[in-house]
Structure 1
Amino acid sequence: MYVIRNGIIVQPDRLLFGYELVVEDDKIAAIQRQGKFDAAAAGAGVIDAHGGYVTPGLVDIHSDYIETVISPRPTVLMDFSTALFEAERELIAHGITTMYHSLSAYAQDIMDTKPVRRWENTEKIMALIAGCKRTEGRNAHLIRHRLHLRLEVDNVNLVEQVEGHLRSGEVDELSFMDHTPGQGQYRDIEIWRKSVRSDHELSDEEAAQIVAAQQAAPKLSFEQLKYLAEVARENGIALASHDDDSVEHLDLMRELGCTISEFPVSLEVARAARERGMSTVMGTPNILLGKSHSGNLSAREAVSNGVASVLCSDYYPTAMLQSAFALHHDFKLPLEEAFAMLTINPARAVHADDQIGSLEEGKKADILVIREVEEGQRTYPVITATLVDGRVVSRMWYPALPSMSARFATDAATIVETADHVPAAVMDTDGSEDK
């Protein structure tokens, strides 16, 4: 049992000042006014947030980072089990407590020749993740491992195998992708050609031949996609489309039952997805970079226009936590709104919000304690404590008190005093001021 004190609790729609959070077993037992819980009498551990933020663990529903850990060089494959353990140690350091590892089921693509993406290797990783899920909560792993299977529509020979994995319970999210040059992410063929030539040193003529071959390659039929989508829905698996480049394509994906639009390529399509009730996923690396690496809709533009509902790490886990504070400080987005896109919104998109994604009584105790430290003229968010399933899985110590969050509080007395001066809307669960 733990009590977390002297922190600012971040909920989906507000910040709570002067409250403490009680953890019992693997659940959040109480969120109550600070000082009500007698930790000594209960034999509970006390985690002092030192005026920092207490947030839910981050939920990342799209990341192929595990492939980078397994294959740090294009032709190198490290031990898969070791890579999974090493990946989770880094992910927990960045606050990601639930990871939907995004594994690709490609046919043949000049852009993705790494052996880690061969189907036999993808299945090996899938088996490892399934094993993690079976031992969850038994101190075997630091985070929640989940599987996001990305099916490329040119992989016409995998329908039966994919169906089997959907029915086995291994898959938690299924997305349909089409990276054929001339549409989707690479609707601008010149951008595709530059990418290919940069990676593989192809001539214009060779690139043109590849474009023609990929455009002529057979694709999964609508009936086949519909069948797999039905199997996914029957098994409670979230469905996503990928790189929607037109409203017509978006509507086709909606017809299949997709409720998530990953990386819509234009503001028009992203807005249409939100109007249709779909979750829109954008990458946090683009929040930090300020642009999309493929020239499409940037995450910053999507957030600024209110059409991004979910943020993911895509390929760079460090960007998750950093982007939340960048949006807060640079774009003046309320911190609770920034964190919602990293926690409750992705959890809701993949039907996991009944257990994770927000700090609420009865939910899983996946919790971060975050402070901001100064370095020169900048501040950086750092995680000082992480709990998953109510277990403290990480503690890190920084010599200085937080800077930005210290404006509010450094101990319980200051938090209560500060609470008298903040807007009611960010003070209490019922919106009333409690002095």
Structure 2
Amino acid sequence: MIIINSSVITANEILEDYAVVINGDTIEKLLPMNEVNTEDYGNVINAKDGYVSAGFIDIHSDYIEGIIAPRPTTIMDFNIGIKESERILSSHGITTMFHSLSIYKEDLFGHKPVRQPDNVNKLIHAIHRTHSEKHLIRHRMHARFELDSVEMMDKIKEHIEENRIHLLSFMDHTPGQGQYRDIEKYRHTMKGYKDLSDDEINAQIAVKKELSRLSVEEMETMSELARSKGIAIASHDDDATEKIDFNESLNTSISEFPITMEVAKYAHSKGMYTLAGAPNIMLGGSHSGNLNAQDAIMEGCISILCSDYYPAAMLHSVFKLNRKANYPLTEGFKLITLNPAKAVQMDDEIGSIEAGKKADLNIIRLFDDYPTITECIVNGKVVSRYHYRID
């Protein structure tokens, strides 16, 4: 297979008027178009002057929860949900998805039955089975462990030992710190999910603050087990430099959603990968009133963008950064390809367009300045194809 008439976005530059040669599931070489004889190839894809990028790697997204639990009282078939999700995800250029499931003792928002422990356990098994079945994209599991979910610790350790988990993060959604350090923001968020009075919310806050949490020793045990299996450790909603220092002691290498610019810069200076949500870029800021992702990217202290809850945001955020802030496309695409691949130790196979790496690629064309994935390719095979009608 060969992709012709393209601008190839590599890790360091954009190669204009180039072709990408694919041999089986692997990128064989890049060629200037003046060296290409299309008759040498059986399958020719014309990018029509569009871009070719590496496939997007999304290491934090709970999108699968909405597919499987589309209504508060509804649970759809897990296997069907995974199959349906990958068709949607590939249309947005996501070729590797870390399904980010929350491990809660109790979901205070109470609006996602898929977050109940039994359902989380079933979904982890379903994601793991996908690897041995026909599938369109690469599925991985990101276990987001809430610190008060003490009863789930042994089950998560079992999943780690059985290679069902590929990224582990520690979370603490206790109101008054982290994402919800602003109690009034927390009240507003809660009222968006439930019809609750201030007194009822205060009662829930009091219960949450009294719950038992993992000890430092238990966190160290889980972290060491994960590292022994080659699994990266992430922190979540860091709101102080002291938390970064503590997380560093747990061998944490990813700081997800740092709350302030100061914390993002400090984590970055420590050599951690720093992650923000691509929807933050599209919205012009955090929906929780925290760090502005575009500002942090321009300051050089955010290294990864994830879809979080909106898959389309990965592609559109990169082009918005380029269009509105003059951020180079090569650097923008690294936020959703090579950098996340490095963070989860997959960059030896995917994350950039290089000879010898897996042929996970996207062809991107602009229709009236609207970026569109016209072809998504995984392991050298086209898994989705879309074109706007011109007539």
- TM interval, short-chain normalised: over 0.9
| Counterparts of 1:257 and 1:74, CA distance in 2 | 37
| Counterparts of 2:82 and 2:167, CA distance in 1 | 19
Specify every segment of 5 or more residues in structure 2 that has no aligned partner in the other structure, as ranges.
none
Question: Which deviates more, 263-272 or 76-85?
Answer: 76-85
User: Amino acid of the residue matched to residue 376 of structure 2?
Assistant: T
2:47 corresponding residue in structure 1: 49
Indicate the SS of the match to 1:368. Answer: strand
Q: Deviations over 1:171-223 (max 9, x none)?
A: 11000000000110001111111111232121111111111111111111010
2:161 corresponding residue in structure 1: 167
Question: Which deviates more, 226-235 or 78-87?
Answer: 78-87
**Contact between 2:361 and 2:378, CA under 8 Å: does it hold in 1?**
yes
| Counterparts of 1:339 and 1:400, CA distance in 2 | 28
User: Amino acid of the residue matched to residue 246 of structure 2?
Assistant: L
| Counterparts of 1:252 and 1:389, CA distance in 2 | 39
1:279 corresponding residue in structure 2: 273
What is the correspondence of 1:302-313 to structure 2 with a 5 Å cutoff?
A: 302-313=296-307
User: Amino acid of the residue matched to residue 16 of structure 1?
Assistant: L
* TM-score (structure 2 length as normaliser): 0.98
Q: Deviations over 1:295-345 (max 9, x none)?
A: 110212211221110000000101111111101111100111110001000
Q: Is 2:206 aligned against 1:223?
A: no
1:16 corresponding residue in structure 2: 15
Indicate the SS of the match to 2:44. Answer: strand
**Contact between 2:91 and 2:385, CA under 8 Å: does it hold in 1?**
no
| Aligned partner (choices 381, 385, 391) of residue 395 of structure 1 | 385
**Contact between 2:107 and 2:115, CA under 8 Å: does it hold in 1?**
no
| Aligned partner (choices 108, 118, 121) of residue 120 of structure 1 | 118
2:90 corresponding residue in structure 1: 92
**Contact between 1:373 and 1:400, CA under 8 Å: does it hold in 2?**
no
1:183 corresponding residue in structure 2: 177
User: Amino acid of the residue matched to residue 305 of structure 1?
Assistant: E
| Counterparts of 1:361 and 1:72, CA distance in 2 | 41
Indicate the SS of the match to 1:52. Answer: strand
Specify every segment of 5 or more residues in structure 1 that has no aligned partner in the other structure, as ranges.
402-435
Indicate the SS of the match to 1:227. Answer: helix
Give 1:37 shift: 4.2
* TM-score (structure 1 length as normaliser): 0.88
1:428 corresponding residue in structure 2: none
| Aligned partner (choices 108, 127, 142) of residue 129 of structure 1 | 127
**Contact between 2:166 and 2:231, CA under 8 Å: does it hold in 1?**
yes
Q: Is 2:292 aligned against 1:298?
A: yes
User: Amino acid of the residue matched to residue 48 of structure 2?
Assistant: H
Indicate the SS of the match to 1:19. Answer: strand
| Counterparts of 1:329 and 1:384, CA distance in 2 | 20
Q: Please identify the structure whose Cα radius of gyration is greater.
A: 1
Q: Is 2:53 aligned against 1:63?
A: no
| Counterparts of 1:17 and 1:44, CA distance in 2 | 23
Question: Which deviates more, 189-198 or 166-175?
Answer: 189-198
Indicate the SS of the match to 2:89. Answer: helix
| Counterparts of 1:200 and 1:97, CA distance in 2 | 35
Give 1:238 shift: 0.9
| Aligned partner (choices 188, 197, 222) of residue 191 of structure 2 | 197
Q: Deviations over 1:228-272 (max 9, x none)?
A: 000000000011000001000111111001100000000000000
Q: Is 2:373 aligned against 1:383?
A: yes
Give 1:15 shift: 0.4
Q: Is 2:355 aligned against 1:361?
A: yes
**Contact between 1:62 and 1:100, CA under 8 Å: does it hold in 2?**
yes
| Counterparts of 1:36 and 1:128, CA distance in 2 | 46
User: Amino acid of the residue matched to residue 378 of structure 2?
Assistant: V
**Contact between 2:375 and 2:384, CA under 8 Å: does it hold in 1?**
yes
| Counterparts of 2:132 and 2:77, CA distance in 1 | 21
**Contact between 1:9 and 1:55, CA under 8 Å: does it hold in 2?**
yes
**Contact between 1:20 and 1:35, CA under 8 Å: does it hold in 2?**
no
Aligned length: 391
2:345 corresponding residue in structure 1: 351
| Counterparts of 2:75 and 2:376, CA distance in 1 | 30
User: Amino acid of the residue matched to residue 298 of structure 2?
Assistant: S
Question: Which deviates more, 26-35 or 310-319?
Answer: 26-35
- The alignment-based identity, stated in percent, is 46
Give 1:112 shift: 3.9
